[in-house]
Amino acid sequence: MTPAVKVNQVCKRFVNWHKKAVNGNPLHRVFSFLRWEKKDFYAVNRVSFEIKEGEIFGILGANGSGKSTLIRLISTLLIPDGGSIEIFGRNSICEELAIRRMINRVSVEASFFKKLSAWENLSYAARLYGYSPSEVRTKLMEIFEFLELSEEKLAEPIENYSRGMQQKVAIARALFTTPSLLLLDEPTTGLDPKSKRQVQALVRRMNQEKGITGILTTHDMEEAELLCNRLVIMKDGVIIAEGTPEQLKKEAAAGNGHSSSSISLEEVFLQLAEEGCAA
């Protein structure tokens, strides 16, 4: 069976400029451009994994670990410098337009026209996706019913909404294209506990009832354990662990002489991030 996502030995390199020590060289003092040297930096370095259709797959890592770069590569916003990425059998370089029709993204900070209502924002987005005015209302009502959003509430300006409500509207916008793959880039960051649970429950419903494959990045280990079928942990651009949350906990617990029930995914993450070696 063709995997939903296949990442094979993918690399992404960036260039960093570093200031040289002058070391008494008079040319360095006269010509400022001589004080700088170029060094390559691998944000993602030979990363490989596969995601099955219908899975929610987690990509975890500290800031600077490479997970955001990896998400941009999967979404075709960046081109890999090495390796390959396939989305439902399509190559991310050769067939990027076809891939973009199959994916959508919900980010940590949803962008809206804040003075307009949710209905107006979503209608505008629907027209950009090519829906006719008559199709817009039908599609919107279908999505609102699934998300349990009232039509009256959606007439209010977006700026009056809570962050949790704004994220639900962002998910509604993402569902317009009926995506096969949904990229969830820290979707609950900054939400209050109640709104966070509502968004998490919504992600589970989309996965279970609509069969949407999801890729989740998050700093919330409890959220990762709740939502993800499998996950990887990244550090310095490489994968240092891969498996189900329960597998990673069992392996970490066995190494410490404990039971998996006595260790949390957060403890596993901190242990691996500190050691930097595979579990």
Mean pLDDT of 219-228: 92
Burial classification of residue 193, based on how many CB atoms lie within 10 Å of its CB (0-12 exposed, 13-18 middle, 19 or more buried): exposed
- 215 close to 49: Cβ distance less than 8 angstroms: no
- 272 close to 241: Cβ distance less than 8 angstroms: yes
Residue 30, pLDDT > 60, answer: no
DSSP letter at 261 equals G
Confidence bin at 277 (pLDDT 50/70/90): very low
> For residue 126, which amino acid is it?
A
DSSP letter at 117 equals B
Residue 279, pLDDT > 50, answer: no
Report the residue count for the chain: 279
Query: How confident is the model at residue 39, as a pLDDT?
Result: 78
Which pLDDT tens digit goes with each residue over 97-154?
A: 999 889 988 887 777 888 888 888 888 887 777 777 777 778 777 777 777 777 777 7
More confident residue, 81 or 197: 81
Confidence bin at 259 (pLDDT 50/70/90): low
- 80 close to 87: Cβ distance less than 8 angstroms: no
User: What's the predicted TM-score (pTM) here?
Assistant: 0.81
Highest mean predicted confidence (pLDDT) among 103-107, 164-168, 222-226, 274-278:
222-226
Q: CA–CA separation, 83 vs 88, rounded Å?
A: 17
Question: For the ranges 82-86, 152-156, 213-217, which has the lowest average pLDDT?
Answer: 152-156
